[in-house]
Amino acid sequence: MATKAEEYLEAYGEFSKVLRTWFVAYGIGAPVLLVTNETVSRVIKASGSAKTIAGCFLAGVALQILLATSNKAAMWVLYYGEENQSFKQGSSYELGYWFSEHISIDLFVDAVTLVLFGIATWKAFGKLIL
């Protein structure tokens, strides 16, 4: 039987995967939709906001990829430290451990991604509706 901590960790992992999937799917899917629809594409290009919209979507996706890469690296460092105790004495392990202990980094990057996607969506739909 799983402990409460294991249950919480499993739930956290699942929510984390779902959120990252939604962020990357939205960050790639929305621009594709905006570019492939001829009418929408024309309106956005004419608005002068196309670069800002594309930049916000691209930056949000890049942040999520960077965060996933950083978390992956931190988990490998922690794993390797458990397998090789002498590795725990090095600065790589200390950095990986520090990173893994700061949920605020994940929350900050997620919040910035949400703001960037919000700006892009607001600008895109604002041009289409108004």
- Give dist(CA 16, CA 14) in Å, integer: 5
In this prediction, residues 109-120 reach a mean pLDDT of 98
Q: Is 13 part of any domain? A: no
Q: Is 14 part of any domain? A: no
Q: Which region among 84-88, 94-98, 120-124, 126-130 has the lowest average model confidence (pLDDT)?
A: 126-130
Q: Is 15 part of any domain? A: no
Q: Is 89 part of any domain? A: yes
pTM recorded for the entire structure: 0.88
Q: Domain span at residue 101?
A: 22-129
Task: Please state the domain count of the chain.
Answer: 1
- Give dist(CA 112, CA 48) in Å, integer: 23
